[in-house]
Amino acid sequence: MDTSKIQAKFKELYGAEGAVYTSPGRINLIGEHTDYNGGFVLPGAIDKAIYCVIKPNGTNKVRGYAPDENPDKVALNSEFGLEEADKPKERWAQYIFGVAREMAKKGRKVPGFDIIISGDVPLGAGMSSSAALESCVGFALNDQFALGFDRFELALTGQATEHNYVGVKCGIMDQFASCFGKEGSLIRLDCRSLEYEYFPFDPKGYKLVLINTCVAHMLGGEYNERRESCERVVAAIAEKHPEVKLLRDASLDWLKEVSSKVSAVDYIRSEFVIEEIQRLLDTCELLKKGDYEAAGRKMYETHTGLSLKYTVSCPELDFLNETAKECGVAGSRVMGGGFGGCTINLVKDSLYDGFIQKATEAYEKQFGIKAKVYDVVIKDGARKL
């Protein structure tokens, strides 16, 4: 993204140039609904990011501007103080405010500043634009005011912002990927210990592409239901194996031991999670070998499990996944919580054009919806430009 325009706008609004920072959105190659079960995820930072231009203003207030916001729905400008009672009404500004407040709670008070926020992370496509915004602002404030936070603390600050100022009880994966992203690598994050390891992801001859169904089936408490299923199974297994605190700690054999004590629905959901944790570990070994075809087959296995066992897919996602299979795409699956959103696809260069044409045309014919296509490349995390 060309940042010269937002730098020029910053100078027009605030009378001087500011420093430019960026933090990326993310994909997750494999490992879905494993996070709250203490398992692993495998995200990577991408080449679509949030950018900010920032400069201290010598006051105790923030002056912000967001040119990408829809002027018919929300103000582009926001001005607010940095005390708890000063929370701005604009949602985009609440992220900035929340990051500054979370830093203050840790004894690093942030003085006033001017800021412009822009970016090219598609909204509503499951690439975590909100985590990118939090990480971008956090990295910028930390650098501008020499606050001394490390990247892990910045990721936790972003997560706390979501919890306390936006009202989303998210996990740590999105902010972690945005802060720790590394070009040509995915991050295996242990959601129990928060230890992490980089695995090579440089699939020469392949493209990584997301296809957005542009649907979101709102199914109420479906997410919580699945979490509760897992918790009930953990409680049953722990009666005999008290060391089991999360499904991560359980084996398929131990799950079979409680098959008569739990419902069929709870059993099959938990079976998917245990299998998915192992599937992710197997995929990491395949990435080390550079075997992207085999890694792609693991992605298909994940989609099948999410569709038939965890039942978080939908007809639109299943259609795109089946189309990918018909076109010879190496790997395809629903990415994210499910019930809509994107499929993530690992596609040989030679098959790319034909796949995209067939997938988008057939999808529109079947559902009357134009799917959106996003090519992504794995890039570095939060940084100053």
Inside any domain, residue 255: yes
* Domain closes at, from 170, 201, 232: 201
pLDDT confidence of residue 143: 98
Residue 382 has pLDDT above 80, yes or no: yes
The alpha carbon of 335 is separated from its chain's Cα centroid by a whole number of angstroms, namely: 9
Inside any domain, residue 384: no
Please report, as a single letter, which amino acid is at residue 251.
S
Inside any domain, residue 383: no
The span from the CA of 107 to the CA of 155, in Å, is 17
Q: How many CB atoms lie within 10 A of CB 240?
A: 10
* Domain closes at, from 159, 185, 201: 201
Per-residue pLDDT of 61-86, as tens digits, reads 999 999 876 655 556 899 999 999 99
Per-residue pLDDT of 202-213, as tens digits, reads 999 999 999 999
pTM of the model: 0.91
Whether residues 297 and 370 share a domain: the answer is: yes
Whether residues 123 and 223 share a domain: the answer is: no
pLDDT confidence of residue 71: 53
Q: For the chain, how many structural domains are there in total?
A: 2
Is 288 within 8 Å of 322 (Cβ atoms)?
A: no
Is 310 within 8 Å of 270 (Cβ atoms)?
A: no
pLDDT confidence of residue 69: 66
Share of the chain above pLDDT 70, in %: 97
Whether residues 195 and 219 share a domain: the answer is: no
Whether residues 221 and 130 share a domain: the answer is: no
Is 79 within 8 Å of 66 (Cβ atoms)?
A: no
Query: What confidence tier does 224 reach under pLDDT thresholds 50, 70, 90?
Result: confident
Query: Considering the chain, what is the average pLDDT of its residues?
Result: 95
Is 153 within 8 Å of 108 (Cβ atoms)?
A: no
Structural domain boundaries, residue 120: 4-201
* Domain closes at, from 185, 201, 217: 201
- Per mean pLDDT, which range of 80-89, 127-136, 167-176 is the poorest? 167-176
Residue 220 has pLDDT above 70, yes or no: no
Whether residues 197 and 210 share a domain: the answer is: no
Arithmetic mean of pLDDT, 294-309: 98
pLDDT confidence of residue 164: 95
CATH code, domain with 17: 3.30.230.10
Whether residues 253 and 298 share a domain: the answer is: yes
CATH code, domain with 333: 3.30.70.890
Whether residues 210 and 142 share a domain: the answer is: no
Could you list the active site residues? 174
Whether residues 194 and 218 share a domain: the answer is: no
Whether residues 160 and 233 share a domain: the answer is: no
- E strands along the chain, which residues? 19-28, 40-41, 43-56, 61-65, 77-81, 113-119, 185-190, 196-200, 206-216, 331-335, 340-348, 372-376, 383-384
